[in-house]
Structure 1
Amino acid sequence: TSPKPTSEPSPSHQTPPVAPRSPSPRRYTAEEVDAAEKIQTFWRKCRPLRAAHASIASLTTKFEQAKSAFTFPATLDYTLNGRVVSVPATGGDVSASDEGEIERTSEDASLAFTPTNVPVHAYEEELNRILTKLDGVQSGGDELVRNRRRELVRKVESEAERIEK
């Protein structure tokens, strides 16, 4: 009787496993290195600009939300000659004839710190916070960032002036 052939080779006849060879590192040309450096420089420059645009967009949203949520109280309290005087609020919409009279009175009067005026003071504070954060947005010399920031600063300052009247 002869031994039966098996489908599996005997262990002594197996070849040892060969580790896959990793390709040798590729050498880049000077042109390729230069191109890669330009791309990296571009992306490094873009990251702060994207952050600046995102900050401006966030502050624009915050301003618009604050502006739409604010309503003047029915009356405002002013301190005039040491006493608090309540006057109907105009919401910043004053006719030209009333403006002169208000300016003469407002030279001596100031918005009182009373519970009635809390919404006005809080809104003014929010506008100031937005302006402060806008001051911290770096343009990196980018004209679009500067223009967007400047435009928002003008809107916020215009709203602050409207509230102060």
Structure 2
Amino acid sequence: MTPAQAQEAKERLEDAHARALSLGTIKRIEDTLSTLQSSFVFPIDLDLARPESPSGWDSDSEAELAFTPKNKPVHVYEYALSGLLSKLDAVDSFGDEAIRGRRKEVVNKVEKALREIGKRVEESRER
């Protein structure tokens, strides 16, 4: 094997290793998502608060999820899901379509979980 061939082989191995690390990172993030989803318990009741306007309460504004102990599980869950999106954004695909596709698949799962929690909070507003 010539030095050029050895260098090329080394680079191929390094590229394969980097791609495997990216896929492994995506898998760990997906596993974390599954753990978060299975352990999350939505509170029975939520504390909602209307945003304050300069003249007092603004009756036209929609009630927001207050930052209270009762709502803490929802806020922590949303924060954790947003963190997973940030971690997925940081995963390098090296131009590999398989890595991009896998990352997009997990991003979609996280975004779906965020939409679902938003929907449940919205349903709580309507009660």
TM-score, L = length of structure 2:
0.81
Deviations 1:90-119 (A, max 9, x none): xxxxxxxxxxxxxxx996111111111000
Deviations 1:29-75 (A, max 9, x none): xxx21442332121021121111011001101100000100010111
Is 1:119 aligned to residue 89 of structure 2?
A: no
Identity %: 36
How far apart in 2 are the matches of 1:106 and 1:154? 33
**1:76-91 equivalence runs, <5 A:** 76-80=46-50, 82=52
Whose helix fraction is larger, Structure 1's or Structure 2's? Answer: 2
Q: 1:50 to 1:109 in 2, by over 3 A?
A: same
Is 1:57 aligned to residue 27 of structure 2?
A: yes
How far apart in 2 are the matches of 1:145 and 1:129? 19
Show structure 2 runs of 5+ residues with no match.
53-58, 120-127
**1:10-159 equivalence runs, <5 A:** 32-33=1-2, 34-80=4-50, 82=52, 108-159=62-113
Q: Number of aligned residue pairs: give it.
A: 112
Residue 81 of structure 1: how far off its partner (Å)? 5.8
2:41 is paired with a residue whose SS is coil
TM-score, L = length of structure 1:
0.63
Structure with the greater alpha carbon radius of gyration:
1
Superposed structure 1 runs of 4+ greater than 2 Å apart: 34-38
Residue 150 of structure 1: how far off its partner (Å)? 0.3
Residue aligning to 1:99: none
How far apart in 1 are the matches of 2:32 and 2:16? 24
C-alpha RMSD of matched pairs (Å)? 1.8
Letter of the 2:88 counterpart: L
